[in-house]
Amino acid sequence: MAIKRIGVLTSGGDAPGMNPCVRAVVRAALYRGIECYGIRRGYNGLINGDVVKLDEKSVSHTINRGGTILYTARSKEFMTEEGQRKAASTCKFLGLDGIIAIGGDGTFRGALALSKFGVNVIGIPGTIDNDIACTNYCIGFDTAANTAIECIDKLRDTMQSHERCSVVEVMGRNAGYLAMYVGLACGATAVLVPEKPIDFEQDVVEKIRQARLNGFTHYMIVVAEGAGSASAIAEQIKEATDLDPRVTVLGHIQRGGTPTGRDRVNATKMGYLAVELLKEGKTNRIVCTQDGGFTDIDIDEALAMHKNIQQMEIDVLAAMTGI
């Protein structure tokens, strides 16, 4: 079947690079003679028919913008079979030959559900958590990491001036990839992630003590939000060491900002490949990066995969901290 008209949506948490990806989908589609429609507010917009036609001008000057021009939302209605049926009905009514969904794990589960009603779907990983197992890289991760690194570098200046301990909570939901990357990049005293069981005495207190014995008078503790509350960690540090830690929760600042060059280029390549897959008649695929290149994988296979923190990162962190 020839692909004549497709839709693109962003779903779940926004990530820097989603706009360059939408732009790439639109321009690649038009390049191939395919009409492209933006579905606003994720699957909720698909249920309600919140659709707008996109052209070259619609996505002009969006490659440098954070957030998503299509908006995003989490739809409780779409989690039901009735909601999924409504969304599929919208696709049929509008004559959409395929949907490209940009987001994370939940977005792909939604795409898989939609496919069961006969809709062709392609997923593109866009999440700052970088927790999609089938791909080495997710759109938004690089920008979020650089935002957190910049913030922590500035915090370090004032922590050093006052000889203090700082506990910084980094986003990532139930995954510690962002926190680990940021902690390594900032030379943190300790990094706490949900993938690794925490021995508070050994992983935090002893590292602070070792740093002090090595002549340091300021300490930076990075905590993934899935590993616990930064405030609770700070209280434990105070009880164990008599230090008075300062807590910083970076929060949603990590989701915003101009996407980095890496996010723009990867998003552009992924958006282009997604259109090519639909044009070739493929469906139920996720665009991903593996072994330094771009490829695609079946959604069912992708969702069954599990991702872990690399042991090398844990070993490097152990060697670098407290020195």
Mind telling me the catalytic residues? 129
Quick check: 222 and 179 in contact, CB under 8 A? yes
How many other C-beta atoms lie within 10 A of the C-beta of residue 185?
15
Task: Please state the separation of Cα 49 from the chain's center in Å.
Answer: 26
Q: What is the DSSP letter of 204?
A: I
Q: Which residue has the tokens 């790439």?
A: 24
Residue 198 token pair: 């925490």
CA gap 248, 232 in Å, rounded: 12
Phi and psi at 3, nearest 5°, equal -90, 115
For 14-36, the DSSP string reads --TTHHHHHHHHHHHHHHTT-EE
287 forms beta bridges with 296
Q: How many helices (H) and strands (E) does the chain have?
A: 12, 11
Phi and psi at 107, nearest 5°, equal -60, -40
Quick check: 170 and 254 in contact, CB under 8 A? yes
Distances (CA, A) of 141 to 132, 170, 186: 11, 12, 16
Q: What is the DSSP letter of 289?
A: E
Torsion sign across C-alpha atoms 173, 175, 176, 179: negative
